[in-house]
Amino acid sequence: MNSWLNPPGADPLVRVSHLRLDIPVRGEPRRVLHDVSFEVGAGEALGLVGESGSGKSMTTRVLMRLLPHGAATDGDVLFDGTSVTGMDRRALRRYRSSEVAMIYQDPRAAINPVSTVGAFLTEALREAKVSRKEAEERAVALLREVGITDAPRRMRQYPHQLSGGLLQRVMIASAMLTKPRLLIADEPTTALDVTTQEEVMAILDEQRRERGLALVFITHDLDLAAAVTDRIAVMYAGTVLETAASANLHETALHPYTVGLLASRPSTVDVKRLWAIPGRPVSAFEAGPGCVFADRCPFAQDRCGTERPALRTVDDHQVACHRAEELRGRITYETGGDADRAHDEQTEPV
């Protein structure tokens, strides 16, 4: 095992190492995750960043053990030293109800449309034998904490009467109610307006810090992830390609994909022709035997197409690239007029 997976001191709250996942598609197992390794310390925030099909959401499904029938995993997923994949039904129920909470992109799909906000919030507490009065008081107090001032009125309303931003705050309150140790937020603000996103992220960040919650934050937005997490893991085609401190990822990114992703994002402060990573994001099952990014990488060599690089320590990053040392600080993406049209997206197999 790599040394970075065993830092000195206490065990991390979450340790995922060399996770592999196959899911049956029309009876055939299909690779969804190749090699996912990361750790989240107690109270630490980790961003899982990637484009569609990178496996970031599937990784959280493994963390919650919400997998389709016939899914096969390999590698370790440990929560506080206990294997999540090995939990029996009772342990799993306890883990899901009191250790982890999850916030999804679309709160409307995660809340019962025919029960009130109040009923939704107090349900779990009532189940845990908390009195109705106390459950309601706790729910109202939490709604106020997430910036909902007229909480008693909101408690009597139904989900359709609330805006997306307000409903997402209800979901944050709900996630805090059971006092979990880990919060998983899967693109929680992607469907929201940018000003609402700022509010919701600020509230999420504040609640998490106050309670010392660990966070796994899934997003496609590197800048957003950098603002609210301590470390970022960049995923592509079911593989973690790079892990680094969020604070200076822009300056220190080592993997050609990370650098490319940073260069493709249109800036609000400056106009230049964007450097576009050629091709389209591939899914894990389409990747060849070598580096999963090799066919889109402008720096790929023969070895990259045949030999899959493992995640290893370079500087204070973990990076899965054969040429990381050699390319360090030398990856510049020149904007070439016709060049980016020459190698455009390849067709997706059906």
Instruction: Give the binding range for another protein (CB under 8 A) out of 74-82, 148-156, 175-183, 320-328.
Output: 148-156
- 313 is a site residue for another protein (CB under 8 A): no
Instruction: Give the binding range for another protein (CB under 8 A) out of 65-73, 133-141, 208-216, 273-281.
Output: 273-281
- 210 is a site residue for another protein (CB under 8 A): no
Nearer to another protein, 30 or 341 (CB): 341
List the one residue out of 302, 297, 324, 187 whose CA is nearest residue 236: 297
List the one residue out of 273, 243, 274 whose CA is nearest residue 258: 243
CB atoms within 10 A of CB 41: 18
List the interface residues with another protein, window 175-194 (CB under 8 A): 193-194
Q: How far is the CB of 30 from another protein (least distance, A)?
A: 18
Could you tell me if 171 and 183 are in contact, meaning their C-beta atoms sit under 8 angstroms apart? no
Nearer to another protein, 315 or 348 (CB): 348
- 161 is a site residue for another protein (CB under 8 A): yes
Cβ neighbours of residue 137 closer than 8 Å, sequence gap 6 or more: none
Instruction: Give the binding range for another protein (CB under 8 A) out of 3-11, 78-86, 220-228, 284-292.
Output: 220-228
Q: Identify the H or E element spanning 29.
A: strand 28-40
List the interface residues with another protein, window 26-55 (CB under 8 A): 51-52
- 195 is a site residue for another protein (CB under 8 A): yes
Q: How far is the CB of 148 from another protein (least distance, A)?
A: 6
Q: How far apart are CA 199 and CA 223, in angstroms?
A: 16
Q: How far apart are CA 138 and CA 125, in angstroms?
A: 9
Q: How far apart are CA 334 and CA 299, in angstroms?
A: 13
Q: How far apart are CA 195 and CA 329, in angstroms?
A: 35
- 58 is a site residue for another protein (CB under 8 A): no
List the one residue out of 28, 27, 33 whose CA is nearest residue 54: 33
- 254 is a site residue for another protein (CB under 8 A): no
Q: How far apart are CA 346 and CA 42, in angstroms?
A: 42
- Please tell me whether residue 142 adopts helix, strand or coil conformation: helix
Instruction: Give the binding range for another protein (CB under 8 A) out of 114-122, 161-169, 174-182, 209-217.
Output: 161-169
Instruction: Give the binding range for another protein (CB under 8 A) out of 63-71, 93-101, 160-168, 321-329.
Output: 160-168
Cβ neighbours of residue 34 closer than 8 Å, sequence gap 6 or more: 20, 237, 238, 239, 284, 287, 292, 308
- Out of 201, 216, 294, 300, the residue judged to bind another protein by CB under 8 A: 201
- Out of 38, 217, 275, 285, the residue judged to bind another protein by CB under 8 A: 275
Binding site for another protein (CB under 8 A): 51-52, 147-151, 153-154, 161-163, 165-166, 193-199, 201-203, 205-206, 220-221, 223-224, 226-228, 250, 260-261, 264-271, 273-278, 280-281, 340-341, 344-345, 347-348, 350
